[in-house]
Amino acid sequence: MQHYFINQNLTLGDQIKLPNDIAHHFVKVMRAVVGDQLELVSEKNQTLFVAKLIDADNHIVQIIENKKNNVELPVNVTIVSGLAKQSKPELIVQKATELGVHRIIFLPMQRSIVKWNQKSVKKISRLQEVAQSAAEQSHRNVIPKVDYLADWDALFQESFDQKIVAYEEVAKQGETAALVKVLQQIQPNETIVSVFGPEGGLTDTEVNKLVDHGYIAAGLGPRILRTETAPLYFLSAVSVMLELMRN
């Protein structure tokens, strides 16, 4: 069943006209006919509904079911990624969305090769589209928010319950407990953030600054992960420990 986000309140029994972009994809691309069903998530209250096409020519659907299907992680997860080259930011956004991230922040770091500067608004707009597409594909109830912060000071103004920085140097030293300990103690609906370096990793200065602001340096296993792989490892660990093991 196709899954779309719609920016309006929905209630059972409503008959609504699909927005042009959804109508084009559902009716024209997917060739839906009267009686075919789709899922609509109301962005107003993050509620999932099932609707049925009742007028294909005018793109009218009727809401027929309020679907109680919570697929979101039990904690609010933010990842902070150093600016990476080529299409890596899109890959990070797409896959992190599929894995349940709530927010993605891109941040210039000392070893970032690329610079966004004035291009950041256009870049974030495109990445937000990627997030919505991935959220629809993975049947999320929430579209992750994609942001760009100009510097570390902007990040340090943000508030989180649990804070981690993925640091390969502690991983090389055999550190294995920090991530597990944080995930064992975090409570439902709390917020957690993890910072990941760009190609070349974080500098000692950056890690020390993060630690000074309450971030815990954590290893992500014994192998060195690429900048686009590390956030996905982290999100997978969150899912395993907080969804599979706690259930």
Q: What is the pLDDT of residue 172?
A: 65
CATH number listed for the domain at residues 76-244: 3.40.1280.10
Q: What is the pLDDT of residue 70?
A: 84
Q: What is the pLDDT of residue 143?
A: 96
CA contacts within 13 A on the Cβ side of 12: 4
Beta bridge partners of 203: none
Q: What is the pLDDT of residue 81?
A: 97
* CATH among 2.40.240.20, 2.60.40.10, 1.10.375.10, 2.60.40.3500 for 2-66: 2.40.240.20
Q: What is the pLDDT of residue 69?
A: 81
State how far Cα 135 lies from the chain centre.
Answer: 8
Rounded CA-CA distance 242/92 in Å is: 21
Domain residue spans in the chain? 2-66, 76-244
Q: HEC string of the chain?
A: CEEEEECCCCCCCCEEECCHHHHHHHHHHCCCCCCCEEEEEECCCCEEEEEEEEECCCCEEEEEEECCCCCCCCCEEEEEEECCCCCHHHHHHHHHHHCCCCEEEEECCCCCCCCCHHHHHHHHHHHHHHHHHHHHHCCCCCCCEEEECCCHHHHHCCCCCEEEEECHHHHHCCCCCHHHHHHHHCCCCCEEEEEECCCCCCCHHHHHHHHHCCCEEECCCCCCCCCCCHHHHHHHHHHHHHHHCCC
CA distances from 185 to 49, 180, 188, 221 (A): 34, 9, 10, 20
Closest CA to 103 of 149, 44, 49: 149
Residue with tokens 């510097």: 151
Rounded CA-CA distance 56/54 in Å is: 6
One fold for 2-66 and 76-244: no
Average pLDDT, consecutive stretches of 10 residues, N- to C-terminus, the chain (247 residues): 92 92 92 94 87 94 89 96 94 98 97 89 96 96 96 96 89 75 94 96 95 94 91 96 83
Q: Strands across the sheet with 103-107, in order?
A: 145-148, 103-107, 76-82, 191-196, 162-166, 216-218
Closest CA to 236 of 221, 217, 214, 215: 221
* CB neighbours of residue 205 within 10 Å: 9
Q: What is the pLDDT of residue 90?
A: 97
